[in-house]
């Protein structure tokens, strides 16, 4: 009996396979190309501002005053750090216990209700949070603290802290759940109660996942734009005294979003905004890469979740 020759498989079929593979390869490397292009275009515009103002002047400058063409990012850096750290505290204080509740205490019925609800809320657009912040939070702060204007750093941090509860909870819960149940059973068998087990076994074992969650959330909080833009007042100034969180402020994102619409292309202001964007992009990318490495390490350690 004669076997069909391999050639009868057809040139067309073999080349078809090759073509498909190369098309897929191109779409796979698109993401690398996109990332490089984003860096390239931000760098291309931003570097002009660094060249004109000077790297140290632009980063360490004490004043951001577009009207007189003075650009220094120190106010933005300080405001961003203040808002991010306070928002993170609020976020962790609510998001982490919620994650512990979901992974350790909640019964199946509560879980079935809470988990989809939290996933849904993660999808509420940031502009809607900004709207609620303007209508409710800013008004509340203005009246109850008798402030000149409710738009302030604290309004921004409360809003951001609440906004990212779902993402914090989801990642922390994943980390807590990925701890093998043998660990917990061993601890319980030794006579520890449930809280001692959580405190001394589950949380330490999940600590790298929780760290990754915190880093990712820092990146998200720093990068959030619309909600911050609407509630911080968008006045870039260094607060006096430096812990005065009841003052108006401006973060990297809010300055870019608030001022980009009205600058002319190619002006120093335009380039300075790109420089601010470049610094933000670098900070967030470093955070993301570190968080990603941590998560990859956990996956190796516990066999994935």
Q: Please report, as residue ranges, which positions from 197 to 256 form the binding site for other proteins (by CB under 8 A).
A: 199, 216, 219-220, 222-226, 230, 240-241, 243-247, 253, 256
How many residues bind other proteins, per CB under 8 A? 101
Q: Which is nearer to other proteins, 68 or 109 (CB)?
A: 109
Q: Which of 135, 180, 207, 267 touches other proteins by CB under 8 A? A: 135
Q: Which of 3, 11, 32, 189 touches other proteins by CB under 8 A? A: 32
In the complex, least distance from residue 253 CB atom to other proteins, rounded to whole angstroms: 5
Q: Is the distance from CB of 46 to CB of 274 less than 8 angstroms? A: yes
Rounded distance between C-alpha atoms, residue 144 and residue 139, angstroms: 9
Stretch that binds other proteins, among 50-58, 123-131, 177-185, 200-208 (CB under 8 A): 123-131
Residue 277 binds other proteins (CB under 8 A):
yes
Q: Which of 111, 183, 285, 302 touches other proteins by CB under 8 A? A: 285
Q: Is the distance from CB of 179 to CB of 171 less than 8 angstroms? A: no
Q: Interaction with other proteins in 168-197: which residues (CB under 8 A)?
A: 169, 193-196
Q: Interaction with other proteins in 38-77: which residues (CB under 8 A)?
A: 38, 41-42, 44-45
Q: Which of 54, 128, 180, 200 touches other proteins by CB under 8 A? A: 128
Stretch that binds other proteins, among 10-18, 79-87, 172-180, 182-190 (CB under 8 A): 10-18
Q: Is the distance from CB of 131 to CB of 231 less than 8 angstroms? A: no
């Amino acid at each position: 009996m004669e076997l069909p020759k391999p050639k009868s498989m057809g040139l067309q079929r073999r080349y078809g396979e090759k073509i498909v593979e190369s098309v897929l390869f191109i779409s796979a490397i698109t993401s690398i190309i996109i990332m490089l292009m984003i860096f390239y275009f931000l760098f291309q515009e931003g570097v002009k501002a660094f060249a004109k103002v000077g790297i140290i002047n632009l980063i360490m400058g004490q004043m951001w005053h577009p009207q007189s063409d003075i650009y220094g990012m120190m106010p933005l850096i300080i405001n961003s750090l203040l808002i991010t750290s306070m928002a993170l505290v609020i976020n962790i204080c609510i998001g982490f216990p919620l994650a512990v509740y979901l992974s350790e205490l909640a019964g199946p019925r509560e879980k079935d209700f809470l988990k989809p609800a939290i996933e849904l809320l993660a999808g509420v657009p940031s502009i809607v949070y900004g709207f609620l912040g303007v209508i409710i939070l800013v008004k509340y702060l203005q009246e109850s603290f008798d402030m000149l204007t409710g738009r302030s750093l604290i309004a921004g941090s409360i809003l951001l802290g609440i906004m990212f509860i779902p993402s914090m909870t989801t990642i922390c819960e994943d980390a807590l759940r990925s701890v093998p149940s043998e660990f917990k059973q061993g601890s319980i068998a030794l006579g520890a109660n449930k809280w001692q087990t959580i405190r001394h076994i589950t949380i330490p074992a999940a600590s790298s996942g929780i760290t990754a969650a915190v880093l990712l959330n820092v990146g998200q909080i720093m990068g959030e734009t619309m909600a911050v833009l609407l509630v911080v007042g968008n006045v870039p100034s260094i607060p006096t005294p430096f812990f005065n969180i009841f003052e108006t402020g401006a973060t990297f994102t809010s300055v870019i979003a608030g001022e980009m619409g009205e600058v002319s292309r190619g002006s120093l202001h335009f380039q300075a905004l790109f420089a601010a964007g470049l610094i933000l992009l670098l900070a967030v990318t470093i955070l993301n890469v570190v968080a990603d490495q941590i998560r990859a390490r956990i996956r190796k350690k516990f066999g994935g979740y």
